[in-house]
Amino acid sequence: MSAVPASAAPGAPTLEVRNLRTHFLTRAGVVKAVDDVSFTVRSGKVLGLVGESGSGKSVTGFSILGLVDPPGRIVGGQILFKGQDLATLSEEAMRKLRGNRIAMIFQDPMMTLNPVLRIDTQMIETVLAHARVSREEARQRARDALGQVGIASPDERLRSYPHQFSGGMRQRVAIAIALLHKPDVIVADEPTTALDVTIQGQILAEAQKLCAQTGTALVWITHDLSVVAGLADDIAVMYAGKVVENGPVEQVLDAPLHPYTLGLIGSVPSRNRRGEPLRQIPGMTPSMLNLPAGCAFRARCPRAEARCAEPPPFAEYRPGRFARCIHPHEEAVAA
């Protein structure tokens, strides 16, 4: 993607997360689940937020929606939605945005729909929460949304209970619910992880198409680099609560700056490297409870040196390419 000057309306970011910190004040200590996360998503674009399990992706998503439950709390940073800081918004104001201007899709479709309520109830209530329309009108919108995500005979489907649907169907319903108010931002938290590959492909293609059509900015959380490669415009790589690399997706995947990104790419099977053994990142994810000072990746990093005991800055090493490493890869590395 070409770099767009961040100034005028058409290219202005819909969502800009700046130095977000969300901590859990547990009895065992402070869990810095999100600790300095920054990224930007523009209208009609897709940002892939990747990182291994426990790196803080979901907490980032919940922070954007204002859905972090105690003992968790946003302790720093800004979440600028069209220039307005969501972190300082009142709960009631935030509720008016949720599901309306900012929607979220969850990881496990089997758990996101209420088992005792019919699909129409769960869809119509979403319409009525944000729009002053008649029930009939609300039902019509629900029907249209189901059609939009490719569900046949929506009228009949509306009268069903979630258990009458397969996982893929349920995720489509969840996506339809997210689309009801044509939101400006959708946060999709690993929405296809629980589904099989063909359905995953269909849903990805549909999501991409819908965003391009409606101009929705999409934050797609995943741990699967191949999904990001096919879907996203930009990528933000998270490690231990921090974004460690950020930039346009082709550039990052072709020439990663951060050793962790390189490790991630190396651990994905690829056609070009058939026959070679997959390269695992050595070591284990650090405990989020007491992270070492300095670079959190230090213990696993092949390029680590004494200076890495100091916290590395999140710096722009090339135009539009940020990394949190004092010793980044300078040129394209054969991955």
Partner 1 sequence: MTVFLLRRLLQAAGVVLVMSLLVFLGVYAIGDPIEILISPEADQIERERAIKALGLDLPLWQQYLVFLGNALRGDLGRSFVFNEPALRLILDRMPATLELAIGATLAALIIGLPLGLYAGLRPSSPVSKGILAGSILGFSLPTFWVGLMLIMVFAVQLGWLPSTGRGETVTILGMRWSFLTRDGLAHMLMPALNLSLFKISLVIRLTRAGVRETMLMDYVKFARAKGLSPARITFIHVFKNILIPVVTVVGLEFGGTIAFSVVTESVFAWPGMGKLIIDSINVLDRPVMVAYLMIIVLMFITINLLVDITYSLLDPRVRLEGKS
Q: What are the residues binding partner 1 (CB under 8 A)?
A: 65, 67, 95-100, 103-104, 106, 108, 110-117, 121, 125-126, 129-130, 161-163, 174, 177
For residue 31, state whether it binds ligand ATP (rule: CB under 6 A): yes
Single-letter code of the amino acid located at 324: R
What is the Rg, in whole angstroms, of the alpha carbon atoms belonging to the chain? 20
For residue 240, state whether it binds ligand SF4 (rule: CB under 6 A): no
For residue 23, state whether it binds ligand ATP (rule: CB under 6 A): no
- Cis-peptide, bond into residue 5, ω within 30° of zero: no
Supply the minimum distance, in Å, between the C-beta of residue 300 and ligand SF4: 8
Distance CA 269, CA 275 (A): 10
- Exactly one of 55, 58, 246, 251 binds Mg ion (CB under 5 A); which one? 58
Nearer to Mg ion, 194 or 265 (CB): 194
48 and 236 in contact (C-beta within 8 Å)? yes
Within 48-153, where are the H helices? 57-65, 91-97, 109-112, 119-130, 135-148
184 and 165 in contact (C-beta within 8 Å)? no
Supply the minimum distance, in Å, between the C-beta of residue 237 and ligand ATP: 12
**Segment contacting Mg ion by CB under 5 A, of 54-62, 170-178, 197-205, 288-296:** 54-62
Burial (CB count within 10 angstroms: exposed 0-12, middle 13-18, buried 19+), residue 103: buried
Burial (CB count within 10 angstroms: exposed 0-12, middle 13-18, buried 19+), residue 125: middle
Supply the minimum distance, in Å, between the C-beta of residue 106 and ligand ATP: 10
- CA dihedral 301→296→230→58, nearest 10 degrees, is 150
For residue 73, state whether it binds ligand ATP (rule: CB under 6 A): no
Supply the minimum distance, in Å, between the C-beta of residue 170 and ligand SF4: 40
Supply the minimum distance, in Å, between the C-beta of residue 319 and Mg ion: 31
Nearer to ligand SF4, 273 or 298 (CB): 298
The three-state secondary structure class of 165 is coil
Residue written as tokens 């767009």? 4
Q: What is the DSSP string of 299-315?
A: GG-TT--GGGGSPPPEE
Q: Order across the sheet with 84-85: list the strands.
A: 29-42, 13-26, 72-81, 84-85
**Segment contacting ligand ATP by CB under 6 A, of 23-31, 76-84, 88-96, 176-184:** 23-31
For residue 264, state whether it binds ligand SF4 (rule: CB under 6 A): no
Distance CA 145, CA 266 (A): 39
Nearer to ligand ATP, 51 or 154 (CB): 51
Per-residue x/- mask for ligand ATP, residues 294 to 323, rule CB under 6 A?
A: ------------------------------
Q: Which residue is nearest to Mg ion (CB)?
A: 58
Supply the minimum distance, in Å, between the C-beta of residue 75 and Mg ion: 20
Nearer to ligand ATP, 106 or 314 (CB): 106
Supply the minimum distance, in Å, between the C-beta of residue 44 and ligand ATP: 25
- Exactly one of 288, 304, 308, 323 binds ligand ATP (CB under 6 A); which one? 288
Backbone φ, ψ for residue 124 (5° rounding) = -65, -40
Distance CA 225, CA 335 (A): 13
**Segment contacting ligand SF4 by CB under 6 A, of 73-81, 115-123, 284-292, 296-304:** 296-304
For residue 322, state whether it binds ligand SF4 (rule: CB under 6 A): no
Q: How many residues bind ligand ATP (CB under 6 A)?
A: 15
Nearer to ligand SF4, 227 or 257 (CB): 257
For residue 239, state whether it binds ligand ATP (rule: CB under 6 A): no
Query: Which helix (DSSP H) or strand (DSSP E) does residue 41 occupy?
Result: strand 29-42
Interface positions with Mg ion (CB under 5 A): 58
